[in-house]
Structure 1
Amino acid sequence: MKISRPIRVRIAPDAILDNYRAVRRHAPKSRAFAVVKADAYGHGQWRAVQALRGEADGFALLECENAVALREAGIDQPILLLEGIFSARDARAVGEYGLSTVIHCPEQLDLLLGNLPPDTAPDICLKLNTGMNRLGFTVATLARARQRLADELPRARLTLMTHFAEADGERGVAWQMERFRALAGDWTGPVCLGNSAAILRHPDAHGDWVRPGIMLYGASPFAETSAAELGLRPAMTLESAIIAVQDLQPGDRVGYGGTFTADRPMRIGVVACGYADGYPRHAPNGTPIAVMGERTRLLGRVSMDMLACDLTGIPDAHIGAPVTLWGHGIGGEVPADEVAAAAGTIAYELFCAVAPRVPVTVDHD
């Protein structure tokens, strides 16, 4: 009999669908691109697409080859290339496969216009730089881009787009919306605006299209508001089991570097999960973990394949006891946002960092 290491990731497609429906409730007048970039934030691009296939207005990702694969698999909704095209081959694929693409600079527009198949009428999201200062046309470059599109690609369907830098913070989006309106001028066509934070907090900045990302996967875009408070369901659970138990005396240290020292008699569990599985190595003492339905804490430094947790208050915990690192599992519930906050990062990074060696199972409600 093959006995596998107990760590695994569980994905709940129904939670992704429920969270997309939450987008609809918050932005009822907008259509929504489900953002499935970065392998659907580590949840599996195809799993997310399958979960949303019957409801999503469209999908958004980065790699043209992934967009083509979705088309060839029968996905007929709009598919948006969020960073646009990177090669002549990408430009040709936009026309041949009916993809939508962001265009964010004059050079990218040159690439598109020089390589589109004849007689195509693509959907183009012209991205405006309203203060994020990553991608986008500015007051110095936008008018020329719009004129070129009108002259050289008059059948193109054009949408204006921007991305919010501080929708989750105190500054909000009003300053960028003001810049957007100034750049857009007399534009009356469709606009694509809201990310997850704007969808949830800024209804005046939704636009004709919104682009939900992290909220689809059940995490909060806000440091001060939990996903549960927003009505979102976790779609990923990282879980494992206790593989060893140790009894400590006062003064005993735990793990590499001895970064935790027992101040009383303690009982600790060793968990089959480490930074090679995607758990953050820099997670400190006290990072939340759940064992057998009880909340407890990480102790000592995370190593490559193992970490330790406090079992002092969980006397029934034993080798084989279930552990939830984040999500909603047999071991208990630990919001990914809490783990991320403790580790000084965000849930986006936790989800995307899960290693390929971790087996994946899919929940079917």
Structure 2
Amino acid sequence: MDRSGFTLVEMMVAFTITAVIMVMLLSAMEPVSNAWIEGERRIETHQRARGALELMARELTPAVVDTRMQFVMLPGELLEDSGANYVAENSPAIIWMAPVGPNGELRCVGYYLYRDDYRKFFRLKRIYVSPLENEDYYPKLVDRRDARNLMMRTDPTSASWFTETWDSTAFDEEDPYNDDAIVSTAADGVIGLWFQPFDLLGNPIPWVSKSDVHLSTELIYNSASYFQVATTEPFDNGESFAYLADTQMVMKGNRVPAEIEITLVTIDKVTLERDLEMPQIENEFHSNGSLDAEESVQLFLEELKSRGIHRAEVFTTRVKLVNGSG
């Protein structure tokens, strides 16, 4: 009986051909796989940025202020005096009070931009202070033992009402044994951040630090500074927001902005891993001292492109503050 089969040479040739085909298939699949992974990373970064914007908007909308409380926008670097590390140069920070706790309880909320070039950490940080979990860091609203306690007074030139008791422990979220940290990461891959406050007539509010008549200050917006807001039509000089000189008769504004526009610029992890140097934020201004957010963002994007970074995404939302409309 004649038995047919494959010779050893034929088997080796068949295996060789199969191996070559497999290598070719894997080589063809690798770019597709890498592209899919890169796409997933970009989507993840963008989703977190959108989520952070939505959270910020929800927390900003009910922001409150009165003679005992403050709403502040400030250069982020000022937080370094209170213990924060790696605050992005020329970036803003924002701190306020809002009824976002259980049963509408007041909480201190804030955001700022974190930048560690060595570790390639570019993060939007969230500040959240509860009077229960973080009593030592919570702003003082009342002191029954000392009614003249200066820590209870809002300052027309600083954010000390919020930051007076903050220290490095408050900002040390990386220590797993630190239960006193008041910060967390809201979004990764955030390399640019801008806040643009608007008055009741929809005009950008000038920075306090740009005012010629106000006390010397580095702040951007301060509810405890001295100012006046036009409600239905501009003042005689055409302006709709005016800072006032410090006199015996002048009173603090004690108002939150009518609206705030928030802009984030993000890049994905793949781009960060290319070890490219990220540009610093540069702020441009209108002639009245208000931020030109659109121009500032555009210049930042152009600087990114000049450094070979073409995948930056811009996310913007405009938040109407309930207590700033009346």
Under a length normalisation based on structure 2, what TM-score does the superposition of the two structures give?
0.23
Q: Which has the higher Rg, Structure 1 or Structure 2?
A: 2
Under a length normalisation based on structure 1, what TM-score does the superposition of the two structures give?
0.21
